[in-house]
Amino acid sequence: MRGLDTPVTRLRRQVFKEIAKVAYSSENINDDIEAIPYIISPGDTPHYRESIYRERAIASERVRLAMGMSLRPEDQPVHITSGLEESNISQKYYEPPLMQVIPSACNACDVNKYEVSNQCCGCVAHPCQEVCPTDAISRINGHAYINQKKCIKCGKCKAVCPYDAIAKKIRPCAAACGVDAIESDDLGRACINTDKCVSCGMCMVNCPFGAIADKSQIFQLIRAMKKQQNVIAEVAPAIIGQFGENISAANIKAALLELGFYKVYEVAMGADIGAMTEAQHYVEKVVSKELPFLLTSCCPSWSMLAKKYFPETINKISNALTPMVATARSIKQKYPDCKVVFIGPCAAKKLEASRKSVRSDVDFVITFEELWAMFEAKSIDMDTFTKEIPMNDATGVGRGYAVSGGVAKAIEKCIHEYYDNIDVLIENAQGLSECKKILMMAKSGKMNGCLIEGMACPRGCVGGAGTNIVINRATAEVKKFVKNSKNAIPEKELADIELL
């Protein structure tokens, strides 16, 4: 549903916009926050649900999540603004977990069910009955009927139906989750098993009811921008095309400066450093046979997947700083007192920026979706925005990180350019299901000698949970951005940069 202007898309953006407006200009935050559900669902007539009261109840939970706060208990009277004192700050604020299902918004979709539709023609052959191993299919009024108590969900009936009259019903969020983290509560509603979840956000973007949302830092970021002048933005290369086909990198940089950022840098600058560093790691560790294979480190959900489900691979994940962290550190070396905000397509980066094991130097993380709401709150119309300020911090290979295969390709180019007679074995996977398969193969010794790139989202970062446009178009825009880069690969000296 990404890239489609659906009611769910508009609802999410409106919540972010209203939160941003409160952060920018409110003199009575409590009252203005409490009023947002009534702005979203005005009057007495419901727009999306069967009841205006349910709409407002759901909107209230969306507001809390957009403030970085957790959901309210369902069985206790709690104000929307309960806990606002902790959230109303000008620094990073986050109440775990990152992803939450809003119970009142969940449709309690069927988990796994085969059902006969009105396409059934009651054919004489009735092959669905013939292949059913449990006699779960009978005929009622001349049409097939599946007894759900007998059905074992094998799918044989669906496979043989000549009219495709048997539908497999499955939760969209569960179908999108590559680690089976979507489970059910006592009322049959979806819930997320946080022990399994790697926070990629694919469940969120695939729920047609908008019942899953991540925590936002948009409110705290705006408070910080109002409090101090030196808030610096670092933007991921996937941003190209996210705000309109004719909006260039130069337009985006100008718009960010108009929004109030002190400076704007490309995260691809850090990707250049990462490409050189991981090229060096591959040559020193894998080619020398010290390690059987090397896993890239830039995708946080991919790294979490490896660490949670394949702990034996932990020492085989490159210890190169991710582009987000490398860029933030280089910025803070130049501007020690600044605050850095990462603007990207990824929900999981919010967790990476908060982890304790590696200092991130990233003060805030927002997505392209949240940035769009900030533009709207400040009446910056990207459809008509024409100001330009050149953005040329990075090379083509660094910008190519945004597309699946781009990381491995960048490392391979650096190896071929700066090391003699080194052959690189490349493997990459996109989407968590494929990532799990490739890690299983690596575990069994079938990937020895390989540089393995994993991306949790389809097509890579361009398919991230915080993007605004369809994946195909986003991919094409990034490839064009890479092609038009002033320099193709980084200087070798980047590998020697120390970012403590």
Q: Is 312 left (phi over 0), alpha (psi -120 to 50) or beta?
A: alpha
Task: Give residues with Cβ within 8 angstroms of 51, minimum separation 6.
Answer: none
Nearest one of 279, 305, 308, 325 to 457, comparing CA atoms: 305
- Distance CA(358)–CA(325), nearest Å, equals 9
Q: Return the bridge partners of 140, or none.
A: 143
For residue 356, what pLDDT is reported? Answer: 78
Task: Give residues with Cβ within 8 angstroms of 43, minimum separation 6.
Answer: 52
- The CA angle 39-40-46, to the nearest 5 degrees, is 115
pTM higher than the cut 0.95: no
Q: Does residue 356 or residue 75 have the better pLDDT? A: 75
Would the CA dihedral through 196, 201, 202, 205 be positive or negative? positive
- Per-residue pLDDT, averaged over 415-437, amounts to 93
Does residue 312 have a pLDDT over 80?
A: yes
Residues, the chain, total? 500
For residue 492, what pLDDT is reported? Answer: 63
- Per-residue pLDDT, averaged over 298-309, amounts to 96
- Distance CA(271)–CA(359), nearest Å, equals 17
Residue 241, burial from CB neighbour count under 10 angstroms (0-12, 13-18, 19+): buried
Nearest one of 29, 32, 11, 13 to 371, comparing CA atoms: 13
The distance from CA 268 to its chain's CA centroid, rounded to whole angstroms, is 18
Would the CA dihedral through 452, 457, 460, 461 be positive or negative? negative
For residue 315, what pLDDT is reported? Answer: 95
For residue 495, what pLDDT is reported? Answer: 47
**Which class would CATH give 112-170?**
alpha beta
Output the six-digit token pair for 247: 């909006």
Side-chain-side CA neighbours of 200 within 13 Å: the count stands at 36
Residue 365: pLDDT band with limits 50, 70, 90: very high
For residue 499, what pLDDT is reported? Answer: 45
Instruction: Using the CB atoms, write b or e for 326-359: b if 16+ within 10 Å.
Output: bbbbbbbeeeeebbbbbbbbbbbbbbbbeeeeee
For residue 493, what pLDDT is reported? Answer: 57
Does residue 2 have a pLDDT over 80?
A: no
| Digit-coded pLDDT (tens) for 342-351 | 999 999 999 9
For residue 279, CA distances in Å to 284, 417, 462 come to 9, 10, 23
- Distance CA(323)–CA(326), nearest Å, equals 5
| Digit-coded pLDDT (tens) for 202-220 | 999 999 999 999 999 999 9
- Distance CA(327)–CA(62), nearest Å, equals 31
- Per-residue pLDDT, averaged over 72-94, amounts to 91
Nearest one of 11, 433, 66 to 221, comparing CA atoms: 66
| Digit-coded pLDDT (tens) for 443-498 | 999 999 999 999 999 999 999 999 999 999 999 999 999 998 888 888 765 544 44
State the span(s) of the chain assigned CATH 3.30.70.20.
Answer: 112-170
Nearest one of 220, 268, 273 to 395, comparing CA atoms: 268
- Average model confidence (pLDDT) across the chain: 94
- Distance CA(492)–CA(277), nearest Å, equals 10
Q: Give the number of other CB atoms < 10 A from CB of residue 386.
A: 8
User: Are 479 and 238 within 8 A, CB to CB?
Assistant: no
Nearest one of 154, 225, 152 to 371, comparing CA atoms: 225
For residue 500, what pLDDT is reported? Answer: 42
- Per-residue pLDDT, averaged over 135-150, amounts to 96
For residue 359, what pLDDT is reported? Answer: 80
- Distance CA(307)–CA(40), nearest Å, equals 41
